[in-house]
Each structure stands twice: as structure tokens, then as C-alpha cells.
Amino acid sequence: MRRSWLLAALLVASTSPLPAQTLRAGFGEVDVTPPDGTPRQGWNTKLTGEGALDPIFARAVVFQLDRDGVGDERPLAIVQLDVALVGEKDTAAIRGAVETQHRIPGSRVMVAATHNHAGPAMIDEALPRDENYIARMVAAAAEAVARALADREDAEIAVGKAVEWDVAYNRRVVMRDGTARTHGSFRDPDALAHESPIDPEVGVLAVRGRAGKIKGVLVNFACHPTHHGGERFFSAGYPGVLARELRTRGFPITLFLQGAAGDVAYDDPRGRPDKTMEEIGRMLAADVARALESPKWTTPATLSAATTRVAIPYRRVTDDDVKGTARGAQRFGEPGYYDRKIPGLLAMMKAKGSVEAEVQVFRVGEAAFAAQPSESFTRHGLAIKEGSRPVRTFVVCYANGMLGYLPHEEAFARGGYECTFGPPSLMAPEAGRLLAEAAVALIRAATE
């Protein structure tokens, strides 16, 4: 209790007069919990939701620089959805609604999914998605931006970090035969080691108004939220718990921005009991509090957006890939799922040849938000953070589209679920590296 009061005192400490250039910021959220019977996503199986363990939200934050009292700078908007992914088509629909209703250019809107596996389907997974619900989600995202715009006031930001080692684990375990097993266990006598590191950073950007009252916070962390994925109800997973916990700590709205979590999950390969979504949400909330124990509140001098598009080839597919008999192949989902999906995938890949993928970067003062339209492996996220130094970069995956899993290149020789050809894994081995390099180039160009 004493720690909480000390933190609150630090957060509402008096602030010096704001300069002629000020930041205006606001947050908004809309409950978009689906009705019963809406298809769910995240388990490669036919599931609909019947009731909700906790609500599903669309959330938004807007940032705008006001120079000498003239608010002529177009805002930046980040939209966060409690869903597994958001495709390019739906991203375009949300941006179009925001631009039409609020005159914020689509290039200044970032749309990110938490990668929640117990939420409504945004794609035709095992069942067709509900188009009426998707339209409601698009409208809710635009409404969240509207509420954030209405909430704008002169504001300051504080950027911080904590390190969390007890939530996420690299879920790919290297075996004695040289393959990798996704969700492998070290209780297996043939298990050797984790294939890669995790990213333990809990990145935080908090916003407060002129009077010192906290308006909201953005939290960046890399770990799959797969709790309750195979059950018949809706839930926002641990990101939803985090938002509720932080509300009790004085943060009215939390946007959770999922990191490069393609090979990272909360299930402990040592065989210890998995942490519940409630436990993880509380742990991350405590990490956010630690990250802001000595906040340095500032008015950012920089607020910018940059975008580039990168041609990403599809992978070369063998007969063994199609059959699921390639070295280390590992399929998850209901029987027949891959057989139903693969013919359409092959036809699409042949017709298109490659994908134009969007890489987007927002700068908010000393921090950058690097959007990756992918389920990138942790090494790619770490490469962005390292390559963009001295800028502090928050890597936001599952944003502005979805290319599927993007493993690091050498992982393909080991197999495992993320490298097994099928709906989640279509792109060439170099795809993740190309996207990461593009993000670093955008950040560097903005700082030179």
C-alpha cells in the first residue's frame, strides 16, 4: 500500500510551465464484446463464443503538437483491438473511417491487435468470420478515436521500462535430432535448449494532463496471449487483465501493444504450472508501476509518421511441405484444417507472387513505435531495437496487416509449427529480416 501511495505522489508531482510548443493527447475506448454465436479465432478449429469472461475493447490514443496555440499539426492515432490480428483490408477500413470522420490521414493511423486468442474472428479461420460484427468493430475503432480526440488536453509523457523474466519463455525447444518443437518440454530427454532468447523489456509510455492527472498508458511486451483459446467464451486474455489492474492503479485506459512474440509464450517448458492470465496481468501491472517509479515528464519535440512498403516474396513450397511431412513439420488445429486451406493458399501464392507489406513508424519524442504486419520472431524485434539506437523503439507486431509467422532464417531448417507451411506460415525465410531492416531505416532517416 505504501508503495502505491508513493508512486501516486510521484505521478502527480507539480509540473513546470509548458513551453510554447505543447503536446495535446487523449484516450478513448469502446466496448465491442461480440454477441453469442460469433466465430472465435486463435485455435484453428470451429469455435463460436457463448458468453464473455471479460469484455473486448477497441481503444485509441491520439497525440497532437500544438505550436504557439495553433493546432495545425495533424494528430497521430494508435488504435488497439483485443483480437488475434487485423488484416490489411480491415486496417484500410478503419483508417478510411477515421479519415472521413475525423480528418486524420490514414498514414497517421496505426492499427494494432493484442494477438488475443480468445477473441472474435477477424479472418475466415475454421469458420467464416461474421461480416456484420467486423463492420461493428470498424465503427468502434473510429468511435474510440473520436473519444480520444474529445479527451485531448495539454499533456506530457514519461517513457520508462522494466524487465520481466518470469512471464514469457521461448516456446521453441531444440531437440537432439536438430529439429525444433513448438511448445516443447525439457522433461523430454531429447530436449537440448531454447532456440532463441526472449525480449524481457516491458516498455511504457505514460501520458498525464497539465494538472498532473494520468490520462492513460501504452504498454509494450512480447508474449502470446493464448489463455482460454480452445474454450467457448470470449476473453481479452492477459492484456485485458492488465488494463483492469492498471485502472485500479490510476491509469484510466491502457493500450497493450504486442511485441515480436512469434516464438514466445507463457507456458513454461520446464514443466512448471502455467501462469493464469490474471497472474500475468497483475505481474505486468506491477512492472508498469516499477517503470514509472521515477518518471521524467517531458513535452516531446518530435511527433512524426513515416511509412514504406516492402516487397516480400512467398516461400518456395515442396511436396513434403504440402503433405506436412517436411523435416520437423508440426501442425496444430482440428483434423483436416491444413488440407482444406492449402489448395487456396497455393493458388493465391501463384497468382500474386509476392506481397507489398507496409512498415510504419511513429515518433513521439524519444520513443518510436515500429509497426510490423507480422507474427515476427523475437530476434527480429531485438534487431529493430538494437539497430535504431539511440531511439527507444517499441516494436508493435500484429499491426496494419498480417503476413503470418516470420521466423529468423535459420529456424526453417529446424521446422516446428511456425515454420510449417500452411495458413500461418507462407512467407520466404528472409521476410522478417527485410521488415526489420525497413523499420530501422525509417527510424534512422528521421534522426539524421
Q: What is the DSSP letter of 425?
A: B
In the numeric block, the cell 467464416 is attached to: 128
Burial of 187 (0-12, 13-18, 19+ CB in 10 A): exposed
Burial of 270 (0-12, 13-18, 19+ CB in 10 A): exposed
Q: Estimate the crossing angle of helix 277-291 against helix 237-248, to 10 degrees.
A: 50
Helix or strand holding residue 237 (H, E):
helix 237-248
| pLDDT for the residue numbered 85 | 97
Domain ranges of the chain: 2-299
| pLDDT for the residue numbered 335 | 93
Rounded to an integer, what distance in angstroms lies between the CA atom of residue 412 and that of residue 182?
13
| pLDDT for the residue numbered 18 | 43
| pLDDT for the residue numbered 436 | 98
The residue among 327, 182, 193 whose CA lies nearest residue 264 is 182
| pLDDT for the residue numbered 69 | 56
Helix or strand holding residue 203 (H, E):
strand 201-209
Q: Cell numbers for 220, please give them.
A: 509494450
Measure Cα distances from 369 to 164, 364, 399 in Å: 20, 8, 11
| pLDDT for the residue numbered 448 | 61
* Cis status of the peptide bond prior to 189, with omega within 30 of 0: no
Helix or strand holding residue 264 (H, E):
strand 264-265
> 236: how many CB neighbours lie within 10 A of its CB?
30
124-148 exposure pattern, b = at least 16 Cβ within 10 A, e = fewer = ebbeebbeebbebbbbbbbbbbbbb
CA-based end-to-end distance of the chain: 46
Q: What is the DSSP string of 369-415?
A: EEEESSEE-HHHHHHHHHHTTTSEEEEEESBSS--BEE--GGGGGT-
Please answer whether residues 446 and 390 qualify as being in contact, where contact means their C-beta atoms are separated by less than 8 angstroms. Answer: no
User: Which phi and psi angles does 72 have, rounded to 5°?
Assistant: -90, 0
Burial of 150 (0-12, 13-18, 19+ CB in 10 A): exposed
Rounded to an integer, what distance in angstroms lies between the CA atom of residue 49 and that of residue 38?
6
Rounded to an integer, what distance in angstroms lies between the CA atom of residue 314 and that of residue 404?
11
Rounded to an integer, what distance in angstroms lies between the CA atom of residue 391 and that of residue 366?
6
| pLDDT for the residue numbered 70 | 54
| Local mean pLDDT, 10-residue blocks, the chain (448 residues) | 41 46 95 97 94 98 80 84 97 98 96 98 96 98 98 96 97 97 96 96 96 96 97 97 98 98 95 95 98 94 94 96 95 94 95 96 96 98 97 97 97 97 96 98 85
